[in-house]
Structure 1
Amino acid sequence: MCPQCQTRHDDWDHGGPDQEDAYAATVQLCIGCQVLADKQQSLARDRGEDIHGLKVALIPAAHAAALEVEREQQARHRRHGG
């Protein structure tokens, strides 16, 4: 089995041009994958080569908002000597 496409050699047409293959290639757009790739590209552009080890992940918007509030509170606390 191919580790990349997960098909077996025997799944493909070995009988000639008039026989159909067991698979057909299709193109699908995944918005999540597109958003991840866009974010990775912007990080690479903004940070240059300094993106090694950075992981881009999708999290629920409500969770992201809560994390942002928490970061702001921590920054405010540090600024005021807390």
Structure 2
Amino acid sequence: MELCETYRIPHSQLMGASAGGRWTALDRAKAAAWAAWKADVCDGCGTRSAEWDEQQGGDRFAYVAQTSRCLGCELIEQEQEQVPDGAEGRGVRIGLIKPS
């Protein structure tokens, strides 16, 4: 469904079962279910609340925390510290590009 969302095509077309790219009732139902599933995913950690809720079949101890370091994120944070506070710094975004 992620590919369908990216390319804005019905699932049946992705699977090669639909000609013309028309959305069937099943395609619409799958897209709605995908949207609902995505809405429940935490932006910060990527888990869903049901995964933690034992009353919904989840497991409070299903995950353990793991520390990792991304040198790209570190570089972005260092550059962000150089952006001045106040009006000059509004709307400034730091990204990574490969030097030419």
Alignment TM class, shorter chain as reference? 0.5 to 0.7
TM superposition outliers: structure 1 runs of 4+ over 3 Å: none
Gaps of 5+ in 1: 64-82
Paired residues for 1:37-76 under 5 Å? 37-44=77-84, 48-49=85-86, 50-61=88-99, 63=100
Instruction: Classify 1:58/1:38 alpha carbon distance in 2 versus 1 (closer, same or farther; 3 Å).
Output: same
Paired residues for 1:2-81 under 5 Å? 2-4=41-43, 5-12=45-52, 14=54, 21-44=61-84, 48-49=85-86, 50-61=88-99, 63=100
TM-superposed CA distance for 1:27, in Å, is 1.1
Could you say which structure has the larger radius of gyration? 1
**Could you tell me whether the CA contact under 8 Å between 1:11 and 1:21 is conserved in 2?**
no
CA distance in 1, matches of 2:67, 2:90: 29
TM-superposed CA distance for 1:20, in Å, is 6.6
**Could you tell me whether the CA contact under 8 Å between 1:36 and 1:56 is conserved in 2?**
yes
Alignment-derived partner of residue 71 in structure 1: none
**Could you tell me whether the CA contact under 8 Å between 1:39 and 1:56 is conserved in 2?**
yes
For these two proteins, the number of residue pairs brought into alignment is: 56
Q: State the TM-score, normalized to the length of structure 2.
A: 0.46
Q: Which structure is higher in RCO with an 8 Å CA cutoff and minimum separation 6?
A: 1
When the two chains are superposed, the root-mean-square deviation of aligned CA atoms in Å is: 2.2
Alignment-derived partner of residue 75 in structure 1: none
What does the per-residue CA deviation read over 1:24-60, in whole Å, with 9 as the maximum and x for residues that have no partner?
111111000000010011123xxx3121111211111
Identity of aligned residues (%): 27
